[in-house]
Amino acid sequence: MRSPFSLKQEFLKKWILGLQRCRSSKKNMSIFERKKVIKLSADVAMASARKGTTCWSRALIADAVKEGNADKHLAEKILGPASERQPTEKVPVGAMAYNKRIRSKKILKRSSVIRRTIKFAPQAARPSSIVKTLVGKRRQILRSLIPGGEFMNGVSLIEETLDYIISLRAQVDVMRSLASASKLVNLN
């Protein structure tokens, strides 16, 4: 079981790295810009701390660098040079890499969902009472809350939710610590 402390340290390390990568434009940044950088680098750091092992983390990063995303360039800056990024599958580095990566990630996600659904197919044919609660509005809401949730189902949805909540909590704890630490430092 991953220790929560090492997760926080991993997150902090990656977050600061991402922030430093945006350092060059800090001088003229508005508060709004700063907030965007802080939040985005925190989200990306949280996702990359998982090293591509979970669906939501891959989806989060894929969405961040998706074509048409307003903050795509910011996200790419934060993630750093492609050679340093956590590979989720072997892709050629280059201009076409992003599109290919996103497409192959989607295929990978879909195939893993299919694999899981096939495994539990008999159950899906006759939903039990527990599984029944997983259909309908609440499941839709849960899926909308988790990055990449639209591709998840049943058991994998709950597993991803568990991991996502643990990561979110670590993220919030570290950010809160930094906020109190900053207050202390500023007061001095």
Q: At what angle do helices 154-187 and 31-48 cross, to 10 degrees?
A: 130
Comparing CB distances to another protein, the nearer of 63 and 91 is 63
111 vs 117, 120, 131, CA distance in Å? 10, 14, 22
Is there binding between residue 169 and another protein (CB under 8 A)? yes
Comparing CB distances to another protein, the nearer of 107 and 141 is 141
* C-alpha span between 17 and 82 (Å, rounded): 15
* CA-closest candidate to residue 175, choices 80, 38, 75, 34: 38
Is there binding between residue 174 and another protein (CB under 8 A)? yes
Per-residue contact flags (x/-) with another protein for residues 113 to 152, judged by CB under 8 A: -------x-xx-xx-x-xx-xx---xx-xx--xx------
* CA-closest candidate to residue 146, choices 70, 57, 66: 57
Burial class from Cβ neighbours inside 10 Å (0-12, 13-18, 19+) for residue 80 reads middle
Candidates 31-39, 61-69, 82-90, 93-101 — which segment interacts with another protein by CB under 8 A? Answer: 31-39
DSSP 96: T
Is there binding between residue 187 and another protein (CB under 8 A)? no
Is there binding between residue 12 and another protein (CB under 8 A)? yes
Is there binding between residue 90 and another protein (CB under 8 A)? no
Contact 157, 149 (CB under 8 A): yes
For another protein, the binding residues in 42-71 under the rule CB under 8 A are 42-43
Tell me, what amino acid is at 67? E
Is there binding between residue 100 and another protein (CB under 8 A)? no
Residues that bind another protein (CB under 8 A): 5, 8-9, 12, 16, 19-20, 22-23, 26, 29, 31-32, 34-35, 37-39, 42-43, 120, 122-123, 125-126, 128, 130-131, 133-134, 138-139, 141-142, 145-146, 154-155, 158-159, 161-162, 164-166, 168-169, 171-172, 174-179, 181-186
